[in-house]
């Protein structure tokens, strides 16, 4: 595997002066040679001056190709005739070997164009190859909604957002064919894998199981770890990964909604019954302890039944006052 190494480049300002002088000299040669040729003199000096001016123009063009700038958050990978020389990370105006490649060839067909969410939000055309100027700023990849099956086989819709940046420019350019599309593909693969190893929600009373809906931090940590392992060969570091969308698929959404509503009703009823039992027990014990009312087992059972009906009923209670004997 390729490892990034540091390359040094000269400052572009000292080279700008000699190149400017060459441009002025070239213009002077053209200014002298062209009028001499127009006058149709027998001297061959204007011809030699014109040839020299043309050659000097070629030299200026080659030297000018060595100028480049590196902005903050960028790096320039230097490749000379297929040989990796190093990476320039120092920002500013530089001059280096003018024969350094500015773009790298790609094995992708010319018809393929992949759009990635980069720092400038532009499309990257694979048919033109990758630029040797690599952005090392943080980028955001907004994943599309995917339909996958969770651990128990329920179809769900899930999407994520991944924040990443290039750490090793050599690995990014030389160890994978196109690192933006590689990141997008591996992000989708990692999300599918993480979604398949966790259930969507708790089933029954198994509250200690990690689920996609309830344990967001644990799932995000697992997704980051999965992405870090998959993107390490491309020299990419994952800064953050989070779920942005999570829902049951449309074909089972209504059934799961009714299930959740039923579970909520059961939980509420259980809580009401637990509270009612405690209140009835407290009322019966207080009456028996004070000795104000002497209740036998049958009367105690009747009182408990009436209190449970009143406390657990959905509608408002309408008491009936008994003016006669209980028997």
Q: Would you give per-residue pLDDT tens digits along the chain (327 residues)?
A: 788 999 989 999 999 999 999 999 989 988 888 887 777 666 778 788 889 999 999 999 999 999 999 999 999 999 999 899 999 999 999 999 999 998 887 665 433 444 444 444 444 444 467 889 999 999 999 999 999 998 888 889 999 999 999 999 999 999 998 899 999 999 999 999 999 999 988 766 566 788 888 888 999 999 999 999 999 999 999 999 999 999 888 776 676 677 677 777 777 778 888 888 888 888 777 777 766 666 677 777 777 777 777 777 766 666 666 665 555
DSSP code for 316: P
Residue with tokens 């020389």: 85
Neighbour count for residue 277 (Cβ, 10 Å) = 15
- By CB atoms closer than 10 A (0-12, 13-18, 19+), residue 310 is middle
Residue 322: its pLDDT value, please?
A: 62
Query: Are the C-beta atoms of residues 70 and 95 closer than 8 Å to each other?
Result: no
Residue 302: its pLDDT value, please?
A: 77
Residue 55: its pLDDT value, please?
A: 94
Chain centroid to Cα 52, Å, comes to 56
Residue 171: its pLDDT value, please?
A: 94
Rg (CA), the chain: 39
CA distance 27 to 31: 6
Residue 194: its pLDDT value, please?
A: 94
* Phi, then psi, of 173 in degrees rounded to 5: -90, -30
Residue 106: its pLDDT value, please?
A: 63
Residue 33: its pLDDT value, please?
A: 83
DSSP code for 128: G
Q: Strand ranges (DSSP E) for 51-210? A: 67-70, 74-80, 83-88, 92-95, 103-104, 113-115, 123-125, 130-131, 133-135, 139-142, 146-149, 155-166
What three-state secondary structure class fits 99? coil
Residue 119: its pLDDT value, please?
A: 41
Long-range pairs of 110-119 with CB within 8 A, sequence gap ≥ 24: 114/178, 114/180, 114/181, 114/184, 116/141, 116/180, 116/181, 116/183, 116/184, 117/141, 117/142, 118/180, 119/73
Alpha-carbon distance values, 222 to 53, 61, 213, 214, 246 (Å): 65, 53, 14, 14, 16
Residue 116: its pLDDT value, please?
A: 42
Would you say the C-alpha torsion 142, 148, 150, 156 has a positive or negative sign? positive
């Amino acid at each position: 595997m390729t490892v990034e190494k540091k390359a040094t480049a000269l400052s572009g300002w000292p080279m700008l002066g000699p190149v400017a002088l060459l441009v002025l000299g070239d213009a002077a040669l053209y200014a002298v040679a062209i009028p001499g040729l127009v006058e149709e003199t027998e001297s061959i000096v204007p011809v030699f001056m014109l040839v020299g001016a043309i050659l000097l123009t070629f030299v200026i063009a080659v030297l000018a190709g060595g100028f480049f700038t590196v902005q903050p958050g960028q790096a320039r990978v230097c490749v000379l005739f297929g040989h990796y020389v190093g990476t320039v990370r120092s920002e500013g105006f530089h001059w280096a070997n003018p024969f350094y490649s500015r773009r790298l060839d790609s094995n992708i067909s010319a018809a393929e164009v992949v759009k990635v969410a980069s720092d400038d939000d532009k499309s990257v055309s694979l048919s033109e190859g990758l630029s040797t100027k690599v952005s090392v700023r943080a980028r955001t990849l907004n994943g599309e909604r995917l339909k996958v099956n969770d651990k128990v086989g329920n179809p769900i819709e899930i999407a994520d957002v991944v924040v990443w940046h290039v750490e090793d420019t050599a690995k990014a350019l030389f160890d994978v064919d196109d690192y933006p599309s590689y990141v997008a593909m591996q992000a989708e693969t990692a999300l599918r894998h993480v979604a398949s190893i966790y259930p969507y929600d708790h089933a029954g009373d198994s509250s200690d199981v990690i689920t996609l809906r309830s344990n967001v931090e644990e799932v995000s940590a697992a997704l980051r770890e999965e992405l870090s392992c998959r993107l390490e060969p491309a020299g990419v570091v994952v800064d953050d990964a989070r779920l942005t969308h999570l829902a049951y698929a449309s074909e089972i959404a209504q059934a799961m909604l009714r299930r959740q509503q039923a579970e909520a009703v059961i939980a509420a009823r259980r809580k009401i019954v637990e509270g009612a039992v405690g209140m009835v027990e407290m009322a019966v014990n207080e009456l028996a302890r004070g000795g104000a009312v002497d209740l036998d087992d049958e009367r105690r059972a009747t009182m408990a039944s009436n209190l449970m009906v009143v406390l657990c009923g959905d509608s408002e209670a309408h008491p009936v006052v008994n003016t006669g004997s209980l028997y």
